[in-house]
A and B are shown apart, each in its own frame.
Chain A
């Protein structure tokens, strides 16, 4: 038996969302089991079923490291500059 991961997409702008996993002997049955297990009440109009062994999984620590402070702007500097401007005008 192989483990598969299931992704569903609802109609509209929502992205595909991971909803869970299942075990199946082959791809055809994986699709059939996924329909039975995850879409009994129209939870999505599109479904991806992917063998877990075929997924490329990133390291969460490396993901966190990809984030850099200079890519964010929390508006603090802008707030200070605006305040300074207000004070010099008055």
Chain B
């Protein structure tokens, strides 16, 4: 077990590119902050997996159903990995994390507090939300100081890459489709553009410990800006519009500048007051209760001596 005499020593270790392992005697504040961050990530993957699951039956055609199935397995798989890493930090057990999520005591990303109305919405999620999530995860992976988190992020990022590629494929198909398909896709973009932009969060505060302790490697505003620079030309080229009347190109730099971002919408969603928060959480509770027989069967199997 490694230990550090002071926070200064610990931070010097982190600044030097040091990786913290679960057995290390890390400062409590670091343990707490990293745990909260991984728990939020785990909750979000889990809630995202349940959303994806809704589309296995509704996705049009066998290929899209198979993709929805694979994505559901991936997202739930990511939640599994993340909950294991979080539980090993010794702050909360996995059961406590599940109980807190289902009781609304902990949070998950804003984008899972909205309803996916149509197949167009589902593609917008695959394209915009997955791209935003992937960009954030890559920025964490790049310089992540907590070893086990970094290890599983590598895997998560590889799989999210498949999802994003699939999202772009489907978006381009809709772009070349019938007028009706084009309109459905535009409606999806209109509904999901702002939640995706808000996913990055407000500008990073100068005293953000996640940045200082090398969990995040980039500021929220930089990641958000890169997302806008990448997405605006892609969507425009595919014949779609962005639901931001104030979006314009800076005449000098050529960079896209967003209109004002409604941070109250982000805060409300994360606090569980989003347009679809109640139904989503209720669905998660139903899924959990519905699988109670599986858990009790596993417990019984565990109780039988080998």
Residues of A within 8 A of B (CB): 1-3, 18-27, 29, 36-37, 40-41, 43, 57, 59-61
- For the complex, what is the distance from the CA of A40 to the CA of B77, rounded to whole Å? 10
| Neighbour of B81 across the interface among A3, A20, A26, CB < 8 A | A20
Contact B301 A26, beta carbon cutoff 8 Å: yes
Q: With a CB–CB cut-off of 8 A, which chain A residues contact B88? A: 21
Question: Given A23-B94, A40-B73 in contact, is the A1-B1 Cβ separation under 8 Å?
Answer: no
Query: Chain B residue with minimal CB distance to A17?
Result: B151
Residues from chain A with Cβ under 8 Å of B159 in the complex: 41
Instruction: Jot down 21 A-B pairs with beta carbons below 8 A, ordered by A.
Output: A1-B298, A2-B302, A3-B84, A19-B151, A19-B155, A20-B84, A20-B148, A20-B152, A22-B80, A25-B298, A25-B299, A25-B301, A27-B306, A29-B298, A29-B301, A36-B73, A37-B81, A40-B70, A40-B77, A60-B1, A60-B23
Q: Specify the chain A residue showing the minimal Cβ separation from B303.
A: A25
B60-83 interface mask toward A, CB cutoff 8 Å, 1 = contact, 0 = none? 000000000010011001001100
Tell me the residues in window 281-298 of chain B with beta carbons closer than 8 Å to chain A beta carbons: 298
A36-B77 contact given A20-B152, A22-B84, A23-B94, CB 8 Å threshold:
yes
Select one of B1, B80, B304 contacting A37, CB under 8 A.
B80
Whether a CB of chain A sits under 8 angstroms from the CB of B21 is: yes
Contacts A25-B299, A37-B77; is A61 near B1 (CB within 8 Å)? yes
B81-128 residues with Cβ-Cβ distance < 8 A to A are 81, 84-85, 88, 94
7 more CB-based (< 8 A) A-B contacts, given A1-B302, A20-B152, A23-B84: A2-B302, A19-B151, A19-B155, A26-B302, A26-B304, A29-B301, A37-B77
Which B residues are closer than 8 A to A by beta carbons?
1-2, 21, 23, 70, 73-74, 77, 80-81, 84-85, 88, 94, 148, 151-152, 155, 159, 298-299, 301-302, 304, 306
Using Cβ atoms and an 8 Å threshold, which residues of chain A touch B301? 25-26, 29
Q: How far is the CA of A53 from the CA of B173 in the complex (A)?
A: 51
In order of increasing CB-CB distance, the 9 nearest A-B pairs are A25-B302, A25-B301, A25-B298, A21-B84, A37-B77, A20-B81, A1-B302, A37-B80, A26-B301
A73 to B298, CA, bound (A): 54
Neighbouring B residues of A29 by C-beta, 8 Å: 298, 301
A interface majority secondary structure: mixed
Distance (Å) between the CB of A6 and the closest chain B CB? 10
Instruction: Give the distance to chain A from B264, nearest Cβ to Cβ, in Å.
Output: 38
Query: How distant is A64 from chain B, measured CB to nearest CB, in Å?
Result: 9
Most A CB contacts (10 A, CB to CB) among B74, B301, B306 go to B301
**Separation in Å of the B239 CB from the closest CB of chain A?**
33
One of B2, B74, B151 near A40 (C-beta < 8 A): B74
Q: B73 — which chain A residues lie within 8 A by C-beta?
A: 36, 40
List the A side residues contacting B80 at CB < 8 Å. Answer: 22, 37
Q: Are B298 and A61 in contact (CB under 8 A)?
A: no
Please give the distance in Å from B252's CB to the nearest CB on chain A.
Answer: 46
| Cα–Cα, bound, A13→B279 (Å) | 50
- Kindly report which residue of chain A lies nearest to residue B77, judged by CB atoms: A37
Output the least CB separation between B235 and chain A (Å): 29
Docked complex Cα distance between A27 and B301 (Å): 11
Report Cα–Cα, A43/B148, bound state, in Å: 18
Residue from the set B73, B84, B148 with the largest chain A CB neighbour count within 10 Å: B84
CA–CA, A12 and B73, complex, Å:
28
